[in-house]
Amino acid sequence: MPEIYRAFVYIIVMAIPTLVLARVATRSLVDDTEATLWRNCWFFATCAVFLSGNFLVYAALMVALSIYVHNRSKEPCHLYFVLLMTAPGMGYMLGIPGVAPTLVELNPSRLLGLVFLLPTAIRLAKAPQPTKYRVVDALVAAYIALVTILSLRHGSPTHAIRIGLVVAVDIGLPYFVFSRCLVSTQGVRRTLAAFIFGLLPFAAASVFEFARGWRAYNSVLESWDIYLVQAYLFRDGLLRAAVTAIEPIACGYICMVGIGLLLANMSEMKNRLAFWGTGGLIAMGLAASLSRGPWLGAALLLAMFAATTRRGLINLAKLSVVVAILCVPVALSPVGERVYRLLPFVGSVDKSNEEYRSRLIDVSTVIVGRNPLFGSYRYWEEPEMKTMVQGQGIVDIVNTYVAVALEFGLVGLALFVGIFLAIGHSLFRACFRYRGADAILMRALTATLGAILLTIGTVSSVTMIPYIYWAFAGVCVASLRSLGTAVTQKERQPVPKLTVLGYTG
């Protein structure tokens, strides 16, 4: 049997129990009709990925699926998250043969945005726009405008138009849709449930890749005529799982975000066994990536979630005790020494990666110093950057902040960071303003945002990484707006008149 068909069978077989678990875990948030639609769309998309044999055929099938979903679902934007992890996150170059062979790059994440989010964005653009948290809206718009304007440095207006359209689709579209289509906290929680729903088969496939030492989705890329510089990455003799994220660190990043979103919905998940089973599977997917950046991000996520309450110090102490107790049997087991070698900072495996990241920051600081305001679009030609060329003949900018500063300068970096700091500031304040399930939601979103901001400092924004954090930014703004609106409406409710001895006064 050809490799692509064997991989297809394995993925489908693994998906069946994980989608059952996903349904049980999200039952209190998603009705049966919508959950059935999510499940069927996931199977259809996965079949399209493995059996299409061509990216353009796959794209046509996704367009057809989008038409079907928009006629059946009340919230079609949720399918963006359900299907985001079903296809390899690599780009396919579209163009006009003989005229413009490299017109635009289309990848599955961008395609899903166009077919599932764009129709919703057109509808939302006609509705009255919210007034709260417009500062974040302005920062996002300013960042998109800056990237578009600076692309004129390439000397071609058509290139600038193309870049402007790309960043509008990649950044503005997910942020705009998710910041406006979610008008209640239940809507926010259903969106987070959609991410978990699509993540569980992904996490199971990650564990499978790690255990078998086989990349299940590489054959799909070959059928689409896309070839990787490094098809397999190992650490201490172990395969680093990647699945559709292509890069192991992106795989770990996705699972890390999933842990935070699971915590955000913990108060709504009545089946505790399903909750812990879901969390365990996602944690296994995170471990299978063997990616230390997301591991640190996950640790920060749990610490922030525990700390953002009025009893934060006590919670942190409890968390430390639990972690210490869990670490004892691991340390005493036969794999304890190997686990220690893989840990960040203290481990001995791949120390050169940490040194490379440190050198990259030093070199980039010098280059940014020459073009501090708006960066340089040819920064890779600088003599300092040429010293960073790796064995594959490339310079890997393994730091999103460095990549932004190099190309768009400190102005671009300030806008980029300012977007998330503005959101994070509002989320942090909300952690102490609300009670119960709303407080848990705010704490989890705050912790997840902190983990994302830490992790993208260890990886460039490749494959699905930027699509997730821009959509997540929109979800956070929607959460703040929906909770603020609910409080305002509660405050505005008329006070009932006092009735004494049958007299209403």
Q: What CA–CA distance (Å, rounded) separates 21 from 200? A: 8
| β-pairing verdict for 92-96 and 100-106 | antiparallel
Q: What is the 3-state secondary structure of 233-298?
A: CEECCEECCCHHHCCHHHHHHHHHHHHHHHHHCHHHCCCHHHHHHHHHHHHHHHHHCCCHHHHHHH
Considering Cα of 126, then 130, then 131, then 137, what sign does the dihedral take?
negative
Task: Give the pLDDT of residue 236.
Answer: 87
Contact 107, 92 (CB under 8 A): yes
Per DSSP (E only), the strands in 428-501 are 499-500
Q: Would you tell me how many other CB atoms lie within 10 Å of the CB of residue 389?
A: 12
Q: Would you tell me how many other CB atoms lie within 10 Å of the CB of residue 32?
A: 9
Contact 21, 271 (CB under 8 A): no
Residue written as token pair 């099938």: 61
Listed in sequence order, the residues at least 6 apart from 326 whose beta carbon sits closer than 8 Å to its beta carbon are none
Q: What is the mean pLDDT of each successive set of 10 residues along the chain, which is 505 residues long?
A: 92 96 94 95 97 94 96 92 95 70 83 95 88 89 96 84 92 96 93 97 97 94 87 90 95 97 93 94 96 95 93 87 83 77 77 84 92 89 84 81 95 97 95 91 97 95 95 96 65 46 39
Closest CA relative to residue 105, chosen from 146, 165, 172:
165
Q: Which two tokens stand for residue 195?
A: 């991410």
Residue written as token pair 């960073």: 388
Closest CA relative to residue 18, chosen from 266, 277, 258, 220:
277
Length of the chain, please?
Answer: 505
Q: What CA–CA distance (Å, rounded) separates 271 from 23? A: 11
Listed in sequence order, the residues at least 6 apart from 180 whose beta carbon sits closer than 8 Å to its beta carbon are 124, 127, 129, 130, 474, 478
Kindly state the helix (H) or strand (E) to which residue 303 belongs, with its residue range: helix 292-307
Q: What CA–CA distance (Å, rounded) separates 88 from 297? A: 23
Q: What CA–CA distance (Å, rounded) separates 50 from 53? A: 7
**What letter does residue 244 receive in the DSSP assignment?**
G
